[in-house]
Structure 1
Amino acid sequence: MEYRCVQCGFRIKTLFVQYSPGNIRLMKCVNCKAVADEYIECELMIVLIDLILHKPKAYRHVLFNVLNHERTHFQGLLWKSLVGFLVLDAYRSLLVKRPEEEWGTSMSISSFFWIYRKMLMDVFLGNYMFLCSFLFAIRSLLKTSAQFSRFRDLLLAILISSYFKILLTAMMVWEFPPAVIYIIDLFVLSSNTVALKVMTKSTMNRCIGACFIAHAIKFCITQAFA
């Protein structure tokens, strides 16, 4: 990946020039003439707010200009993101699947192992089908090249843009109705769509279709083994 202007997505060689520690000058995009990445001087909270608001320029900042610094550690970043994604998905599966009456002190060993077997099947089989259907969708709908490095970049973008799953951890402290889980799923779907659009520059309809197909197949697979 290369640095990109957060306004128009045009490739740029450098984002700023540093004259001395703490003294930098932001570069302008040669295409749109705007500052290439104003988020460099912004607080992290501002970036997070714009990500939650689904602003494409915030996604370009994170996916191209922040992760670009991590290219030498790309493999490690990809695996860490994947592990975090699976852990949060496992917790989501527990929240959805567990029968409330079985989580008392009287829960049997067989019930305990049945619940965790279901959870592991949902997480690994569901996400395997999600990945396969996602790759198929972006190749057929978005006409994305079949280069392995390109798929890795897109996979990392999907994992990073699934940050809304972190909200599930709030259910460890507060009690929420089960519908909140599916609302978070919708936010994840919409965030994945914006990330995919930023990465591929495809139309919004095609990106929605690709992400919806992958999430729908994953949902059907996990429900089939409920």
Structure 2
Amino acid sequence: MGDAKEGEEEWPRCVGCGRRVKTLYMQYSPGNIRLMKCDTCKAVADPYIECEFMIILIDLILHKTRAYRHLLFNKLRIYSSLDKRFSIAARYREVLLAVIISSYFKLFLMAMMVWEFPSSVIFFVEISVLSSNTVALRVVTEFSKAHCFGVCFGAHAARYLTERWLLGAP
């Protein structure tokens, strides 16, 4: 989004269009807030402010880009992924953080150790992690969906082949 002016790099982002907004809400008194609208898309900049975490988690499971933008940009404060002024190391760190956070489906593998599930469930967990990583990478980098899928698929394939090579399995 190289649309940052001086001092704007730490502003939150609209979850609809991804543009920076000055503020997400205006607080008039304790418990009385007004959600601000984005100047670009004219929608409420971040309606997830009023939502419980469970609603956000459901939207993350449904792979909604708005939920990923809320979590990554407005909650965890990832700012600079496309700004030219920031270092390459900062961009790599932000992409890595997004991929790690979007791998939350791997928690289901821990449930498989406690309860008995067929081994075919591992395939579905891996597909869910792949698609979640694709959405998170797309939100942070704003590349095309096909490009993000290709990168994530390549990374997952490399991990799979490395595991097979190290374990000596066919």
Common fold, TM-score beyond 0.5?
yes
The list of structure 1 runs, each at least 4 consecutive aligned residues, that deviate by more than 3 angstroms after superposition, is none
Tell me, which stretches of 5 or more residues in structure 1 are unaligned?
Answer: 72-144
Kept in 2: contact 1:197–1:207 (CA 8 A) = yes
Q: Kindly indicate whether residue 115 of structure 2 is the aligned counterpart of residue 177 of structure 1.
A: no
Deviation at 1:172, TM superposition (A): 2.9
The 1-side partners of 2:87 and 2:146 are apart by 21
Equivalent in the alignment of 1:79: none
Instruction: Give percent identity, aligned residues only.
Output: 59
Other-structure match for 1:196? 137
When normalised by structure 2's length, the TM-score is 0.84
CA deviation profile, 1:121-171 (whole Å, cap 9, x unmatched):
xxxxxxxxxxxxxxxxxxxxxxxx971111111110000000101111211
Aligned partners of 1:171 and 1:205: how far apart in 2?
31
Q: For 1:20-59, what aligned pairs fall within 5 Å after superposition?
A: 20-59=29-68
Point out which structure has higher relative CO (alpha carbons under 8 A, 6+ apart). 1
* Distance in 2 separating the partners of 1:8 and 1:190: 21
More helix by share: 1
Asked whether the 8 Å contact 1:2–1:64 carries over to 2, the reply is no
Q: Does structure 1 residue 221 correspond to structure 2 residue 162?
A: yes
For structure 2, the residue ranges without an aligned partner over 5 or more in a row are 1-9, 80-85
Q: Which residue of 1 aligns with 2:20?
A: 11
Query: Aligned to 2:16, what secondary structure does the other structure show?
Result: coil
In the alignment, which of 147, 150, 154 is matched to residue 206 of structure 1? 147
Cα distance in 2 for residues equivalent to 1:183 and 1:163: 13
Query: RMSD across aligned C-alpha pairs, in angstroms?
Result: 1.7
Over 3 Å counting, the alpha-carbon distance change for 1:2 and 1:199 in structure 2 is farther
